[in-house]
């Protein structure tokens, strides 16, 4: 039984459980890195409150994790029309400790990929412009 999903008896509906702790998130991150299952990783992210990202990630976030989050936005959140959640997540990532240092160390290819994903999002144009600025 996964921490982020449980079945309700009778109706077969899926409900989101309590948000992950830093430890449980890192366990799922490790599993994602082995299996590369972006849909499953997207479901994990979906259960997270973006406002908790600075605390959840603390100093454990790295460029690979940011790229995976952007990949989940591209392959999970955009196809399921969850643009607002995706924008909130990307904005929250910019508030994580060491974010500015991480972006300085990212390759131009990664920055270009992130920019392309941000361009596909719909919503608050001011926020989208701000995200482009922060991730460049």
pLDDT reading at 55 higher than 90: no
Half-sphere exposure of 52 (CA within 13 A, CB side): 12
Nearest to 97 by CA among 70, 60, 127: 60
Q: Is the pLDDT of residue 6 over 80?
A: no
Q: Is the pLDDT higher at 7 or at 30? A: 30
Which of the four pLDDT bands, split at 50, 70 and 90, describes residue 18? low
Q: Is 64 left (phi over 0), alpha (psi -120 to 50) or beta?
A: alpha
- Identify the pLDDT of residue 106: 92
Q: Are the C-beta atoms of residues 20 and 56 closer than 8 Å to each other?
A: yes
* Range of lowest pLDDT (18-22, 66-70, 115-119, 132-136): 18-22
Distance CA 123, CA 89 (A): 13
Tell me the whole-structure pTM to 2 decimals.
0.80
Statement: residue 28 has pLDDT above 80: no
d(CA 18, CA 67): 25
């Amino acid at each position: 039984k996964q921490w982020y999903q449980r079945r309700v008896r009778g109706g077969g509906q899926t409900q989101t459980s309590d948000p992950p702790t830093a430890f449980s998130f890192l366990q799922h991150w490790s599993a994602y890195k082995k299996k590369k299952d972006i849909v499953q990783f997207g479901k994990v992210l979906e259960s997270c409150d973006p406002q908790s990202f600075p605390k959840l990630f603390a100093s454990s976030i790295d460029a690979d994790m940011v790229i995976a989050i952007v990949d989940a936005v591209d392959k999970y959140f955009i196809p399921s029309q969850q643009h607002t959640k995706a924008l909130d997540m990307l904005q929250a990532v910019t508030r994580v400790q060491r974010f500015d240092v991480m972006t300085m160390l990212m390759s131009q290819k990664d920055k270009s990929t992130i920019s392309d994903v941000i361009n596909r999002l719909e919503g608050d144009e001011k926020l989208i412009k701000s995200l482009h600025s922060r991730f460049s």
